[in-house]
Amino acid sequence: MTKKIVLCVAVLAMVCGFSAIGMAGGEGPETVTIDTAKKSGSTVTFQHWAHQGRAECADCHHSKNADGSQGPYVAGAEAACKTCHDGSIADKSVATAKKAAHKKCKGCHKEKNGPTKCGDCHKK
């Protein structure tokens, strides 16, 4: 009887342990640090893994079509936002990485009651 209890507890511990490992990790880096200001040294540390449980990859990531328009998400082809959002995009509301991030991130945070004040994301 005692052996059965020990075996059951051991199996349960293993299942819980593997579940916790699966929930802790994710695709891509755990965090992404974004340098946001030229002079002040302000950064945003984006908790990538924490957001993966709340959103789909395509909610944030996308590709660029040959004509320069926004294309669909392509797994494994992620690039830094500023690669394209460098001021050259015709839509001025997302022309720079800063504007694109504020529009996308703050919009989602407002929808889901996340942080929206400057100091919530930008730490000095």
- Pairwise CA distance, residues 56 & 58, whole Å: 5
Residues comprising the chain, all counted: 124
Residue 80 has a pLDDT of 87
- Entry pTM: 0.68
Residue 40 has a pLDDT of 62
The CATH number given to 28-123 is 3.90.10.10
Which ranges of the chain have pLDDT less than 50?
Answer: 4-24
CA dihedral 13, 15, 16, 21 (to 10 degrees): 120
In DSSP terms, 44 is beta-bridged to 34, 122
DSSP string covering 64-97:
E-TTSSEE---TT----GGGT-BS--S-TTSSBH
The mean pLDDT value of the chain amounts to: 79
pLDDT digits (tens, 9 = 90+) for 29-55: 999 888 776 656 678 889 999 999 889
Residue 118 has a pLDDT of 87
- Pairwise CA distance, residues 119 & 124, whole Å: 9
| Domain segments of the chain as ranges | 28-123
